[in-house]
């Protein structure tokens, strides 16, 4: 492994430290943000390797990024160590942000027993101590930044340095989350329509655990008794009509910063007029039979977009759009664009 030597350690509060804070700020809202953040954390303390792990309850720990960690060791952690990781156990029990070290768990009594982890992980990783920093995220999850040392334990002055830096690292994490939300509308056609305030929105991780919910979502829970049970359904990414709302469910990919592989749920008012509810019901039934791409094309057709407009918006060829339209016609049992709009447009 390539050791980050003591000669490369940066003093907290120095000009070099603030230059690196600035570099990290530039990455806010971007996919490389946490890599920059752990570089900022690591520049303060001599270490041999680093990990970034996402903790959520009850999902198992998820490795987001490593440096100077061989792939077999990552697999070993995932398969044999994550279930006995004392850092993960500490998060599940206490939901405590801040700084922790592996050496602190040694000899502790109670529900957190580091012995199994130490016996299966430390020999394989060739580490003598770990320094972890738990960042406050949202919901029941936290991102942990970990520095590993091959020889000796982290000193009290180094732990204090991490604690002093924590408020800045924590503030950067919160700013990153804000940037992620504000930038989502520019990433995906569905997300572009999502106004995070006041439109009700819920973000769940891949195990269905709530990561984020807006204030308007909490208000909707009180108005709609069927909403909470509907959020627990493992349905495809298709809308569900409730008495007061239409629940939209969309999967997010593994690169989504807040909940990789999770789900985003949003609410639209349910039509109050009987005829409109009937049309909405037909439309939702059609959505279940369309592919994600066909849904995008359908939504744009309904809003009156031409084939050229749709091709430009989705950045795919007109031929591919026409093929999607023909498949939509077949699945919806209509023959023209005008008929599609007449049948499925909610007035």
Summarize pLDDT for 29-45 with one digit per residue, the tens.
Answer: 887 899 999 999 999 99
pLDDT of 338 > 60? The answer is: yes
Of 10-14, 154-158, 201-205, 269-273, which range is least confident?
269-273
Report the chain's mean pLDDT, rounded to a whole number: 82
Instruction: Tell me how far apart the alpha carbons of residues 266 and 196 are, in angstroms, rounded to a whole number.
Output: 9
| CATH 3.30.450.80 domain range(s) in the chain | 6-183
**CB of 270 closer than 8 Å to CB of 215:** no
Instruction: Tell me how far apart the alpha carbons of residues 189 and 205 are, in angstroms, rounded to a whole number.
Output: 21
Measured CA distances, 202 to 123, 134, 208, 279 (Å): 42, 23, 11, 26
pLDDT for the residue numbered 257: 62
Residue with tokens 């979502």: 217
Of 44-53, 167-176, 221-230, 251-260, which range is least confident?
251-260
- The reported pTM is 0.61
Residue with tokens 């490369």: 8
Assign domain 186-344 to a CATH class. Answer: mainly alpha
Instruction: Tell me how far apart the alpha carbons of residues 209 and 221 are, in angstroms, rounded to a whole number.
Output: 16
| CATH 1.10.10.10 domain range(s) in the chain | 186-344
- Enter the tokens of residue 115: 């012995």
Assign domain 6-183 to a CATH class. Answer: alpha beta
Residue 131 bridge partners (DSSP):
101, 147
pLDDT for the residue numbered 346: 60
């Amino acid at each position: 492994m390539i050791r980050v030597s003591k000669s490369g350690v940066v003093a907290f509060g120095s000009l070099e430290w603030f230059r690196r804070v600035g570099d990290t700020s530039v990455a806010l809202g971007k996919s490389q943000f946490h890599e920059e953040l752990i570089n900022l954390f690591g520049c303060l303390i001599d270490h041999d390797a680093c990990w970034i792990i996402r903790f959520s309850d009850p999902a198992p720990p998820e490795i987001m990024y490593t440096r100077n960690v061989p792939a077999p060791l990552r697999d070993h952690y995932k398969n044999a160590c994550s279930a006995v990781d004392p850092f993960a156990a500490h998060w599940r029990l206490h939901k405590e942000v801040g700084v922790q070290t592996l050496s602190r768990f040694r000899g502790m009594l109670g529900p957190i027993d580091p012995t199994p982890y130490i016996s299966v992980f430390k020999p394989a990783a060739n580490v003598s101590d770990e320094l972890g920093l738990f960042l406050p995220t949202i919901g029941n999850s936290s991102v942990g930044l970990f520095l590993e040392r091959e020889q000796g334990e982290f000193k009290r002055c180094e732990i204090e340095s991490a604690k002093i830096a924590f408020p800045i690292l924590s503030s950067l994490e919160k700013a990153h989350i804000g940037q992620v939300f504000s930038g989502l509308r520019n990433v995906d056609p569905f997300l572009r329509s999502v106004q995070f305030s006041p439109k009700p929105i819920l973000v769940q991780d891949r195990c269905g655990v709530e990561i984020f919910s807006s204030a308007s979502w909490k208000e909707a829970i009180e108005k709609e008794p069927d909403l909470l049970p509907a959020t627990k359904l493992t349905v495809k990414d298709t809308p569900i009509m409730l008495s007061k709302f239409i629940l939209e469910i969309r999967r997010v990919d593994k690169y989504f910063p807040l909940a990789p592989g999770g789900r985003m749920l949003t609410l639209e008012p349910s039509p109050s007029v009987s005829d409109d509810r009937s049309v909405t019901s037909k439309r939702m039934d059609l959505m279940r039979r369309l592919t994600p791409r066909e849904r995008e094309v359908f939504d744009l057709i309904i809003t009156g977009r031409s084939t050229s407009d749709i091709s430009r918006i989705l950045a795919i060829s007109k031929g591919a759009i026409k093929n999607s339209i023909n498949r939509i016609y077949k699945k919806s049992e209509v023959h023209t664009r005008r008929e599609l709009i007449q049948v499925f447009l909610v007035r």
